[in-house]
């Protein structure tokens, strides 16, 4: 097969409004398409006006909590030439599906390895991001230099972020869940943007646990000193776990913690997610202590065992639930804040690299 093209790196800097304008201008095609609600089906027969009104209720909570985010939003809307409220509506994933019994759209796998599992006592995080191939086509990596914030690197679809890292030595990945207790609040995509701005693990976890959140991803947070916090959350509850005694952590797209099982909103998908979860555990367990490195983790992310419910997903070859494909992959050596990543499947894409070395405090 032909390897997919590399992911472009966009560098933005300035105030929140200025970086918003730069992002809006650079990603104008994607932003305009989304703000026009192209390809989206508004749930429950709502009109566009009703959808915008609903988004406005989320925006009211968000503006009170994150006025800086509204500046970024308005800047991006200005740069792309769209209505800010329509753009914000696209950020509110919670309003684009039926609230109960929904089917997951994003599928991801996280593998974390820390001492004693790793070679050279490295702190490593591997992530496969599974979405439709159309998402893959619009991927962009963004280096954010916002005044007063750590330098941030994100990978996502235009201004939408799926994974990120910052110069304070923090890695942010995770998995979409389907909680049953969603409510009006800060959208999980916007909450993730705020987490990326934080300079310590405690501050990042605090953002993940905000009481005014609308829902939650499963957030996988790892620091360069080896601290691992997995926040398996919903809108009103959460359980925190860390790496096991072997230095392993795996998460996919279903609730695992006993206290969170009652929030599972997509039980039909649990067996599919569970297959990837168990395979991830098997792969990490297959490595001798002290041997896991970046190359080994890429081989794990490229695993096709149990297809179509495998870590490296090729729906055009094997089909599978929702035809979700591995749109991009990334592996962070958090010890050195070095990120290796690629567009498409890890088994066949071109590896790229980004280093925070010039940004780390001396």
DSSP H or E run through 289: none
The 8-class DSSP code of residue 118 comes to B
- The CATH number of 107-355 is 3.60.60.10
Return the DSSP state at 178: -
Residue with tokens 């991830």: 280
CA dist., res. 125 & res. 130, Å (int): 16
Give, for all 362 residues of the chain, the pLDDT tens digit.
567 899 999 999 999 999 999 999 999 998 998 899 866 678 877 899 999 999 999 999 999 999 999 999 999 999 999 999 999 999 999 998 875 556 666 689 999 999 999 999 999 999 999 988 888 988 999 999 999 999 999 999 878 899 999 999 999 999 999 999 999 999 999 999 999 999 999 999 999 999 999 999 999 999 999 999 999 999 999 999 999 999 999 999 999 999 999 999 999 999 999 999 999 999 999 999 999 999 999 999 999 999 999 999 999 888 776 678 999 999 999 999 999 999 999 999 999 999 998 654 44
Residue 228 pairs in a beta bridge with 222
CB half-sphere exposure, 295, CA atoms < 13 A: 2
Give residues with Cβ within 8 angstroms of 2, minimum separation 6.
Answer: none
Measured between alpha carbons, how far is 83 from 85 in angstroms, rounded to an integer? 6
* DSSP code for 199: S
Those residues with Cβ within 8 angstroms of residue 166's Cβ, 6 or more apart along the chain or in another chain: 149, 150, 151, 152, 153, 172, 196, 197, 198, 199, 356
Six-digit token pair at 59? 């925006």
Within 8 A by CB and 6+ apart from 183, the residues are: 214, 215, 235, 236
Quick one: pLDDT at residue 323?
Answer: 74
C-alpha 124/C-alpha 121 separation (Å) is 9
Strands 9-14 and 139-146: parallel
* Residue range(s) of every CATH 3.60.60.10 domain in the chain: 107-355
């Amino acid at each position: 097969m032909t390897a997919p093209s590399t992911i472009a790196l966009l560098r933005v800097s300035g105030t929140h409004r200025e970086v918003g304008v730069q992002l809006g201008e650079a990603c104008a095609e994607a932003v305009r398409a989304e703000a026009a609600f192209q390809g989206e089906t508004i749930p429950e027969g709502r009109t566009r006006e009703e959808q915008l009104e609903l988004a406005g209720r989320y925006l009211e909570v968000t503006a009170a909590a994150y006025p800086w985010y509204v500046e970024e939003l308005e800047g991006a809307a200005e740069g792309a030439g769209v209505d800010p409220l329509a753009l914000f509506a696209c950020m509110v994933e919670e309003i684009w599906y039926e609230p109960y019994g929904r089917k997951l759209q994003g599928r991801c796998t996280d593998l974390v390895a820390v001492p004693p599992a790793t070679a050279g006592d490295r702190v490593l995080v591997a992530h496969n991001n599974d979405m439709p191939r159309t998402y893959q086509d619009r991927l962009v990596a963004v280096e954010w230099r916002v005044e007063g914030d750590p330098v941030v690197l994100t990978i996502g679809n235009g201004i939408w972020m799926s994974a990120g890292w910052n110069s304070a030595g923090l890695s942010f990945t995770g998995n979409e869940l389907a909680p049953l207790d969603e409510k009006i609040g800060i959208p999980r995509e916007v909450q993730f943007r705020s987490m990326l701005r934080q300079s310590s693990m405690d501050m990042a976890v605090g953002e993940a646990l905000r009481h005014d959140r609308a829902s939650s991803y499963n957030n996988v947070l790892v620091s360069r000193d080896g601290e691992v916090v997995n926040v398996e959350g919903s809108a009103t509850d959460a359980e925190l776990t860390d790496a096991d005694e072997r230095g392993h952590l795996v998460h996919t797209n279903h609730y695992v913690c006993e206290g969170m099982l009652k929030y599972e909103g997509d039980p039909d998908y649990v067996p599919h997610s569970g297959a990837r979860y168990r395979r991830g555990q098997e792969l990490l367990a297959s490595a001798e202590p002290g041997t896991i490195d970046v190359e080994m983790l890429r081989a794990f992310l490229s695993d096709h065992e149990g297809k179509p419910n495998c870590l490296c997903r090729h729906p055009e070859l094997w089909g599978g639930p929702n035809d979700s494909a591995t749109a991009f992959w990334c592996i962070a050596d958090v010890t050195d804040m070095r990120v290796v990543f690629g567009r498409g499947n890890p088994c066949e894409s071109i590896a790229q690299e980004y280093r925070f070395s010039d940004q780390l405090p001396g």
